[in-house]
Structure 1
């Protein structure tokens, strides 16, 4: 139950106007995915999470896609923060991640990160 209560609150932070909040939400979600048993995320929770994350993976603002300024705070450097979260979801449901990456590939401005996810 804690997973179902918290995941939406963390994902909502991806819509914040503050870059640091969005990047911290990515780092927090990675920790969250690692902290609870993977089975607690399966189904609606991981599907909803992936859908929200794929929207942000195609953000027109590269500072949302790519982390360059808070490598010490968020633990990322020159890698897409949202991509890192999606990469973590592979351990929860690899088939769903593959399906979502394939579906979103043609819809995104660039297929680069979808292709990287499909290589996992």
Structure 2
């Protein structure tokens, strides 16, 4: 337990005073060529530190100066895919660190956007990991990325996000499925706030069709989550969604969810 003491008591803030030593040391020790077990241990400690970032690495408000190093020199190399269980465990630990960092509230929206610019492609890849925890955290990270992106994301990059989240609706874990649905809601909110939504029409129509399949899912929690996604997206192209819903209503085991969606569509005006 000796190694964990710096995270407890009053010694955490000292980290924020020593970043010029701490960050280069971490960078050196967390390179992929270094001992895997050491890296796992360090990432475990780092994730705990980052969860309390205001009282540890950002105790002096200077962590932002090292954000690029942490992102590009520490996180990125350890998110690269390598075969083996230890390599997978390191990716999980790295994703956990990123989750701790993005949810610690020490980063501004712009800083999260900078992190997203670098890491979104990697996190879309970790959605496919064997580890359920990694997939779940990846969904949550993408949700945070999207919540801070507004309409800043490049449309060509943005359009690549939803198919990866859609795949997670087939996940073996309901937690992952529901987290993916939550991220899809945020993705749709971004489109509603963006100019030129017509650019996305064919993608949204495809998304409607796929989501309607899950509206008949055996798991009611998934049905509820998917209904919320469809409600969020309904104002984009309501006529299209009405048509798609009416086309599948009779194929569902129960028409209840489709009927709820159609009722919602009648009540919501289209966005322009």
Q: So what's the TM-score if we normalise by structure 2?
A: 0.37
How much does 1:51 deviate?
A: 1.2
2:217 to 51, 59, 84: 59
Match of 2:226 in 1: 82
The answer to whether structure 1 residue 113 and structure 2 residue 257 are counterparts is: yes
Match of 1:22 in 2: 177
Q: Which blocks of at least 5 consecutive residues in structure 2 are unaligned?
A: 1-155, 266-272
How far the C-alpha of 1:4 sits from its partner, in A, is 1.6
RMSD: 1.6
How many residues align? The count is 106
Q: Distance in 1 between matches of 2:161 and 2:253?
A: 30
Matched, 1:104 2:248: yes
Secondary structure of the 1:43 match is helix
Structure 1 unpaired stretches of 5+: 66-79
CA contact (8 A) 1:56 1:82 kept: yes
Q: Which has the larger radius of gyration?
A: 2
Find the counterpart in structure 2 of residue 74 from structure 1.
none
Any idea what SS the aligned residue of 1:88 has? helix
Whole-angstrom CA distance in 1 between matches of 2:199 and 2:158: 7
Q: Deviations over 1:39-94 (max 9, x none)?
A: 066322011111111111101233432xxxxxxxxxxxxxx100000111111110
Which of 235, 253, 264 in structure 2 is aligned with 1:91? 235
| Cross-structure match for 1:4 | 159
* 1:19-57 per-position Cα deviation (integer Å, ceiling 9, x unaligned): 110000111000111123270663220111111111111
Structure 1 CA distance, aligned partners of 2:190 and 2:204? 15
